[in-house]
Amino acid sequence: MKNRIRSRTIPYLLVLLCFVTEPGLYAQQPFLKRLLQRRDLPAQDLTLKDSHGPWLILAGSFRGINAQDSATALARELQAALGVPAFIMEKSTDETDQLAVPERIHTDDSGKLVP
């Protein structure tokens, strides 16, 4: 009985293996072909635009002097390693409005506020 089961499953496994490993089948599909296509874009083309779509997956956030270089390096690494489109977006916040201004409070010896 075991031999009979094995003899039935071997042809199915061979057909499945041939179907999965045939690269020509996947190359004919435009979606997969476009998805697997690797492109190396110059730095100015890495800027995120409205035409790239309404969705975004944030892979990293950088700040400081080397933030632009770090973001570009991460985008290039994602493009090279995964072959997916990667973009950079610059967003700055004005932190002076968010931070409180320190104010010195003067008190006398008894702890009362002095104007």
Query: Do 43 and 87 belong together in one domain?
Result: yes
Evaluated on CA atoms 34, 39, 43, 45, the torsion sign reads: negative
Average pLDDT of the residues in 81-87: 83
Average pLDDT of the residues in 43-72: 80
pLDDT number for residue 17? 38
Average pLDDT of the residues in 52-64: 80
Domain membership flag for residue 50 = yes
Average pLDDT of the residues in 65-75: 88
> What pTM was computed for the model?
0.44
Query: Do 52 and 14 belong together in one domain?
Result: no
Average pLDDT, the chain: 69
pLDDT number for residue 23? 53
Residue 102: C-alpha distances to residues 8, 72, 96, 99, 111 (Å): 81, 37, 12, 9, 19
Query: Do 79 and 43 belong together in one domain?
Result: yes
Q: What is the dihedral of CA 66, 68, 72, 73, to 10 degrees?
A: 10
The two three-digit tokens of residue 58, written as one number:
């944030």
Query: Do 78 and 43 belong together in one domain?
Result: yes
Cα(113)–Cα(111) distance, rounded to whole angstroms? 7
Domain membership flag for residue 47 = yes
Cα(76)–Cα(98) distance, rounded to whole angstroms? 33
DSSP state of 99: S
Query: Do 54 and 86 belong together in one domain?
Result: yes
pLDDT number for residue 44? 55
